[in-house]
Amino acid sequence: MNTSSEPNRDADWPEALHAVLRAADLRHASWVPDAGHARLIELLLADPAVTTNVLTSEEEGVAIATGAWLGGMRSVLLMQSSGVGNCINMLSLPVQTCTPFLTLVTMRGEWGEFNPWQVPMGKAAQKALEAIGLTVLRAETGRDLVETAAQAATMAWEADGQIALLIGQRLIGRKEW
């Protein structure tokens, strides 16, 4: 039980994450629908200061985030670890152009995974992102996620970094069918 005046960041991490991103002047977000990001997506859709795009593939989001930066907007790409495999080649765009880039990746194929098709990319996502040149950070608790997201936003948008923040499957919970 949380008895302090500080919000319970393990339970309320989507709200706290939204606040961190907005404090860093996030103005654009795109995603392929994902249950792990569902509450954050709801918050972004309800935020009149954030322009949003629903994608048909993750690689579109890499190009859109790059274009948003060129147009003066800070953007985040939300995706699942399986999406890393879908867009690995396109991720060379922000890396090679040194364009600030931030992606939040909900992990699958880890704790409590029931779908064996999610396991290979869950195991490979971090290595693939690092191999293409992104800096990879990881969070396993709500508190870690909020604190790490603040640093990731600074690294991307203030230091021109290409950052992937992996959100552990234990935090987002076991997916149910």
C-alpha 102/C-alpha 94 separation (Å) is 10
Angle at which helices 142-157 and 13-23 cross, to 10°: 20
User: What tokens appear for 35 in the block?
Assistant: 């249950």
Phi, psi of 6 (to 5 degrees): -75, 140
Q: Does some domain include residue 69?
A: yes
Looking at per-residue pLDDT, the higher value among 135 and 5 belongs to 135
- The residue range of the domain holding 80 is 13-172
pLDDT band for position 110 (cuts 50, 70, 90): confident
| Cα–Cα distance measured from residue 136 to residue 174, given in angstroms and rounded to the nearest whole number | 23
Taking residues 57-72, report their average pLDDT.
97
Residue 113 banded pLDDT, cuts 50, 70, 90: low
- Give the count of beta carbons closer than 10 Å to the beta carbon of residue 2: 11
6 inside domain: no
Whether residue 177 lies inside any domain: the answer is: no
Query: Residue 68: inside a domain, yes or no?
Result: yes
pLDDT at 88: 92
Please give the average per-residue pLDDT across 7-11, as a whole number: 52
Assess if residue 105 is contained within a domain.
yes
Is pLDDT above 70 for 109?
Answer: no
To the nearest 10 degrees (0 to 180), the angle between helices 13-23 and 38-46 is 50
Q: Say how many domains are in the chain.
A: 1
At 10, the pLDDT band (50, 70, 90 cuts) reads low
One-letter amino acid at 82 equals S
> What is the rounded distance in angstroms from the CA atom of residue 108 to the CA atom of residue 121?
8
DSSP calls for 118-149: GHHHHHHHHHHHHHHT-EEEEESSHHHHHHHH
pLDDT-wise least confident of 49-58, 101-110, 168-177: 168-177
Domain harbouring 161, CATH code: 3.40.50.970
Tell whether the torsion through CA atoms of 115, 121, 123 and 125 is positive or negative: negative
Mean pLDDT, residues 138-167 taken together: 97
Is 4 inside any structural domain?
no
DSSP code for 56:
S
